[in-house]
């Protein structure tokens, strides 16, 4: 689950700042997701939803040829999709949905900012390994209750999110990116060019 230190710092500052208004972000996402994907997105925290929409909007902008990652980009406010509307079924549609759902596994790890910080500090340690084992039962199914379970789920949210997306029938690349977005590029199963856009848009926000 490792993020770069710079990304972790930006995300920490974002999470301790004023909570954003999700209304515009939710409307934007609702135009691009439906059914169980929308329900999963809607179960994420306000901050995670707004962040994911900001990432997906940048992805859509880059795919439309309007900019490149590393530019100023959009915020998660009002706006319209390139081409005027939702693009659920187009060639590039999975990349936009991947941007929206890459952090969906966090919905399965109900932690506040402090819990996320503690879990992140434990990652890669014996304690972190123990927490990860607490996230699932012997069958591999997610456990349901308890702060230790939630921290373990947070440390494994990429896999949990990918499994949930696979279970609801999401595009294979959407599920793959939820699993792989913290992996090094040589391990990606998503196309390299698509992964590069998604990773850079996420890293800069």
- Tell me: the pLDDT tens digits for 150-198? 888 888 899 999 999 999 999 999 999 999 999 999 999 999 999 999 9
> Which positions ≥6 away from 94 have C-beta within 8 Å?
171, 173, 174
Which residue did the predictor score with more confidence, 196 or 126? Answer: 196
Q: d(Cα 145, Cα 135) in Å, to the nearest integer? A: 9
- Residues 178 and 55 sit within 8 Å (Cβ to Cβ): no
Q: What does the domain layout of the chain look like in residue ranges?
A: 5-203
Longest CA span, the chain: 50
pLDDT tens profile 70-113: 554 433 333 333 333 333 434 458 999 999 999 999 998 888 87
CA–CA separation, 157 and 108 (whole Å): 7
| pTM of this structure | 0.74
| Per-residue tokens: 153 | 């789920």
* Cα distance between residue 179 and residue 97, in whole Å: 14
pLDDT of residue 201: 95
What's the pLDDT score for residue 10? 62
Render pLDDT for 35-69 as a digit per residue (tens, 0 to 9): 999 999 999 999 999 999 999 999 999 999 866 66
Instruction: Name the token pair of 82.
Output: 């390139």
Give CA–CA dist 44/34, Å, rounded.
15
pLDDT for res 88 = 42
Cα angle value 186/67/180 (rounded, 5°): 25
Q: Of the ranges 3-17, 22-36, 85-99, which is most confident? A: 22-36
pLDDT at 198: 97
At 1, the pLDDT band (50, 70, 90 cuts) reads low
- Position 124 scores a pLDDT of 76
The distance in angstroms from the start CA to the end CA of the chain is: 17
Nearest-angstrom CA–CA distance, 46 and 88? 23
């Amino acid at each position: 689950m490792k993020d770069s230190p710079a990304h972790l710092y930006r995300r920490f500052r974002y999470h301790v700042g004023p909570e954003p208004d999700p209304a515009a972000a939710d409307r934007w996402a609702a135009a691009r997701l439906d059914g169980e994907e929308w329900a999963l997105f809607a179960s994420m925290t306000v901050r995670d939803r707004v962040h994911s929409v900001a990432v997906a909007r940048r992805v859509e902008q880059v795919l439309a040829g309007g900019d490149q990652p590393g530019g100023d980009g959009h915020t998660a406010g009002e706006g319209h999709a390139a081409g005027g509307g939702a693009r659920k079924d187009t060639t590039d549609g999975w990349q936009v949905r991947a941007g929206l759902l890459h952090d969906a596994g966090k919905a399965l790890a109900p932690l506040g900012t402090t819990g996320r910080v503690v879990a992140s500090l434990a990652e890669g340690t014996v304690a972190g390994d123990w927490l990860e084992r607490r996230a699932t039962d012997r069958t591999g199914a997610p456990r349901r209750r308890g702060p230790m379970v939630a921290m373990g789920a947070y440390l494994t949210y990429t896999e949990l999110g990918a499994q949930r997306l696979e279970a609801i029938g999401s595009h294979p690349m959407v599920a793959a990116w939820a699993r792989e977005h913290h992996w090094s590029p040589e391990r990606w199963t998503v196309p390299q060019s698509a992964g590069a856009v998604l990773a850079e848009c996420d890293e800069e926000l």
